[in-house]
Structure 1
Amino acid sequence: MKETFSTEENLYRQFIKGYKLAFSNKLVHFVLIPLIINISIFIGLSIFIYYKFSGYYNYFLTILPSWLSWLHYLLVPLFFLIILFIVSFFFSTIANWIASPFNGILAEKAEAILENKSIQPVSFQDIIKDIPRVASRELQKLKYFFPRFIIILITFFIPGFGQTLSPIILIIFNAWMMSIQYCDYSFDNHKINFKLMIKILKKHKFKSFLFGIVISFLSVIPIINLIIMPVAICSATVIWVENLKDNEILE
């Protein structure tokens, strides 16, 4: 009898499988470069954010009139949420931009292992050759992200709506972008265009959002956010092989 899983159980199994795969002996040397890039960018960005935003925050407190001091309790959580999202997304974006050729290779090798195929060696020339293609793909993601993010950001200034629904919309959108970011490597390796990839993920929107929410949550946890990139890539590759690769839209 075939074993069945709920969406949540299946995703949990796939995520654990991706985690084990990312740090397996067969893939560990493909993980090292993205991991080093991830850690280096996180440390640099954290130092930059600390010095920049602490200054802005202190300046904001000095110009806030005493009779508006109560706004401090309302705006600080809002600013914190926005900054946390921006830092989380841009940290992920910058790291993925720089590591994208290596991330694509990691997804390719993870897929080969999952399908019991031999892992072919990768030369430096292969990485250089793929840079224009993967850079173009990352640019497509940014073009998809920015207009939607700006619209969501504007809604924060709508009274009532901005304090209630906008944060929820932002969290959902962030989860959607995380799903796109990490699932896309397998699609790109198979030369599937960005619009078709979006269409397929929308067909599996619940699982896509659930995967993105898990990655978003783990991305803001110290220490874990340093290793989440290779784990997310391998988990997304498991999802690709088990759920998306044979999608009828591709046939």
Structure 2
Amino acid sequence: MSSDAPEETSGDKPLERYLRVLEFVSGLSDGATANEIATHLNLPKPTVHRLVRALTASGALKLSEEAPLKYVLGRRILGLLHAGATASWLSSMSKPILEKFAAQSGAAWFVAELKDGKIQSICFAAPNTEVQAYVIPGAPVVPHAGASGKAILAHLSPAERKSLLGARLTRLTDATIVEKAELDRHLEEVRRRNLAICDEEDLEGFAAIASALVTDNYPVKFAICVTGTRRRILGDARQELEAMAQSGAASLSAMLEIRLRGELNPESVLQ
């Protein structure tokens, strides 16, 4: 049966219009106004306003804080871009830093990742000591007890934090924080300093210090952490280890920021 209506081309389909808007906005570092989108894509202004309203409501776009009339990529799209910064890529980038820190400190260092609702270590470096067996790539981190877990948790939204923690906080040791109000207060301080401490909260006799990888506009998914016996981590070397964790996080954050903007060729960094 034939139809008198013209066949809809791919450029006329609603989904294609949404994608074209996202592609245009993603190519502009400072975003675009609805009028600019309409002009560039040759679409009626009412149509563009409807498209950007829907994309904003879904979290794919948001109004720029610097230029209120301009739209920029929203948290959901940025989250997808962040997922492109794969664990294997970050493992390659962080390996020299982890190995250097491990040699200098005599403690184990690792990078943890938040993925699929879990926080786990993805790469590590350790001296040939008893702590080498403590960090295993892929091993889960208890979010409310481990230093790397708390470092990431502190930067999540309340809804994301609630989803990750679940209804009840499990007590692992006498030092584990199990009251959510207390944990919220603790995480505010962690976020302020971008420094998390685990003092025998997940395993008696062990401690850890972690700092999250924080980038502009992208969700926090990674943290760098040093762990070992409590005496080694929270003893005389504590301040030095805290500074190393923060400097390592800053270095990796800068590389991750460039990676997420698509400006970095990983192979060139490794040469």
The two structures have a TM-score, normalised by structure 2, of 0.29
- State which structure, 1 or 2, has the greater radius of gyration over its C-alpha atoms: 2
Higher helix share: 1
The two structures have a TM-score, normalised by structure 1, of 0.31
Higher strand share: 2
